[in-house]
Structure 1
Amino acid sequence: MRKFIIERELPAIGSAERQALREAAQKSNATLKELGPDIQWVESYVANDKTFCVYLARDEAIIHEHAKRSGFPANKITEVRRMIDPTTATE
């Protein structure tokens, strides 16, 4: 599967209570289960008014379908081509 970063505009998400985040994650997980093995949520980074979600997916279309069914927007989807980190400098 391919790796994607999904930018979701969610006003005030950064100040959401733990319970609200738990409920959002449960909703996302239920939708992922419906969609099957062609999409997987890896993790999300929460900013003030956005989340940046890392997904493994067959293609962008299934990410859009997840957004539609779950009600969480997928404002920008970017495919990750490569990953680098500090050790890249010494390779």
Structure 2
Amino acid sequence: MKKYLIERHIPGVHKFTAAEYAGATEVSNAALAKLAPRIQWVESYVTEDQTLCVYIADDESVIHEHSKLSGFPANKITEVGTKIDPMTRA
């Protein structure tokens, strides 16, 4: 499976309440359950008017399926290549 970064443009998402985030999570999890085991949600980061989500999936098409089932846009999908972090050394 491959790792993807998904940009979801959702106006006002940074103003959601805890209950609204929980509801969005429930909707996403229901869609993921229908698509399992081809896709897994790792985590998401909320910024002003968008979320940046990390997913593991068989391919980009299953991310589009999740978007249709959940109703959450997938405005940009980028496959993650090489990972580097503070421990990466030459």
Normalising to structure 1: TM-score of the pair?
0.96
- Report runs of 4+ in structure 1 exceeding 2 Å deviation: none
2:17 — aligned with what?
17
Instruction: Give 3-state SS (helix, strand or coil) of 1:51's partner.
Output: strand
Greater share of helix: 1
Residues 42-75 of structure 1 show CA distances to partners (whole Å, capped at 9, x for unaligned) of: 0000001000000000000000000011100000
Cα RMSD (Å): 0.7
- Percent of aligned pairs with the same amino acid: 54
Normalising to structure 2: TM-score of the pair?
0.97
1:29 — aligned with what?
29
Q: Specify every segment of 5 or more residues in structure 1 that has no aligned partner in the other structure, as ranges.
A: none
Matched to 2:57, the amino acid is A
Instruction: Give 3-state SS (helix, strand or coil) of 2:81's partner.
Output: coil
Q: Specify every segment of 5 or more residues in structure 2 that has no aligned partner in the other structure, as ranges.
A: none
